[in-house]
């Protein structure tokens, strides 16, 4: 089961695709224009996008370019009636992972979506540094985390700190380790209680994930499962 976003302005087709892929066991969110698709992608975790090219408000090709800047590895399948060679080439060179021309066969569409997700899951799994049994997933590209599929924005420093803790899950990370990681990234001097402040904020931001940052007195901090 995957979270799929369908972006299609034709109501009948959008509803049909939604039903079809729900029956295939996926969670579906759908949008009728490019701008609301952007909002949907910012607000939740999406595993793959089915994208029509001719869209109101923001064209599908422009949305695709935006997706590639923002979510480098998110799988995108273009669904379009435009079947000329030029459109195919433009779609693929703009970063689409697959291309299906309307009208399409339902069984083929379902199979191609499965193939897209299967291919995507290989690198995505390797990039997941966390324990799959908890509800926290670090975004590999942007300073944010997903807690049970809901985005939580972090500062760059919070993200660095949490990455470090997560890489060493169930092991103590010392104050010196954190300071060293932060120094690589900024020359700004840190207040003496800065680490405590960041830990405090992170604890609030990862609340509900099933993970906790434990204070190991005299040694440092440890990320553990609750
Ligand atoms: Ca359209």
Residues 118-156 have pLDDT tens digits of 777 644 333 344 444 467 888 777 788 888 777 788 888
Q: How far is the CA of 59 from the centre of ligand 1 (A)?
A: 9
Query: What does the pLDDT read at residue 85?
Result: 59
Residue 7 has pLDDT above 80, yes or no: yes
Q: Are residues 108 and 155 in the same domain?
A: no
Q: Are residues 60 and 166 in the same domain?
A: no
Q: Which range (2-16, 88-102, 157-171, 177-191) has the least confidence?
A: 177-191
Beta carbons within 8 Å of 124's beta carbon, 6+ residues apart: 73
**Which of these three, 71, 91, 121, is where a domain ends?**
121
Structural domain boundaries, residue 66: 3-121
Number of domains in the chain: 2
Query: What does the pLDDT read at residue 187?
Result: 58
DSSP string, 15-68: HHHHHHHHHTT-EEEEESSHHHHHHHHHHB--SEEEEESS-SSS-HHHHHHHHH
Q: How far is the CA of 103 from the centre of ligand 1 (A)?
A: 12
Q: How far is the CA of 25 from the centre of ligand 1 (A)?
A: 25
Determine contact, residues 75/117, Cβ cutoff 8 Å.
yes
Q: Are residues 114 and 150 in the same domain?
A: no
Determine contact, residues 21/4, Cβ cutoff 8 Å.
yes
Q: How far is the CA of 116 from the centre of ligand 1 (A)?
A: 22
Q: How far is the CA of 12 from the centre of ligand 1 (A)?
A: 11
Q: How far is the CA of 56 from the centre of ligand 1 (A)?
A: 8
Q: How far is the CA of 13 from the centre of ligand 1 (A)?
A: 9
Q: Are residues 114 and 141 in the same domain?
A: no
Percentage, residues of the chain above pLDDT 90: 38
Mean pLDDT of 190-198: 82
CA 94 vs. chain centroid, Å, equals 19
**Which of these three, 121, 145, 165, is where a domain ends?**
121
Q: How far is the CA of 8 from the centre of ligand 1 (A)?
A: 6
Neighbours of ion ligand 1 (CB under 5 A): 9, 52, 54
């Amino acid at each position: 089961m995957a979270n799929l976003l369908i972006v299609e302005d034709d109501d009948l087709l959008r509803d049909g695709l939604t039903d079809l892929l729900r029956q295939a066991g996926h969670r579906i969110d759908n949008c009728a224009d490019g701008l609301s698709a952007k909002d949907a992608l910012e607000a939740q975790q999406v595993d793959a996008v089915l994208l029509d090219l001719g869209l109101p408000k923001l064209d599908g090709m422009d949305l695709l370019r935006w997706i590639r800047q923002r979510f480098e590895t998110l799988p995108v399948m273009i669904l379009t009636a435009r079947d000329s060679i030029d459109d195919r080439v433009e779609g693929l060179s703009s970063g689409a992972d697959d291309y299906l021309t309307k009208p399409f066969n339902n069984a083929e569409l379902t199979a191609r979506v499965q193939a897209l997700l299967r291919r995507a899951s290989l690198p995505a799994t390797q990039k997941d540094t966390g324990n799959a049994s908890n509800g926290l997933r670090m975004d590999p590209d942007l300073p944010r985390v997903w807690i049970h599929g809901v985005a939580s924005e972090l500062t760059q420093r919070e993200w660095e700190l949490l990455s470090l803790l997560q890489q060493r899950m169930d092991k103590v990370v010392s104050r010196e380790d954190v300071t060293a990681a932060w120094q690589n990234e900024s020359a700004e001097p840190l207040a003496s209680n800065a680490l405590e402040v960041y830990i405090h904020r992170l604890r609030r931001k990862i609340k509900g994930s099933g993970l906790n940052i434990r204070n190991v007195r005299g040694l440092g901090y440890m990320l553990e499962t609750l």
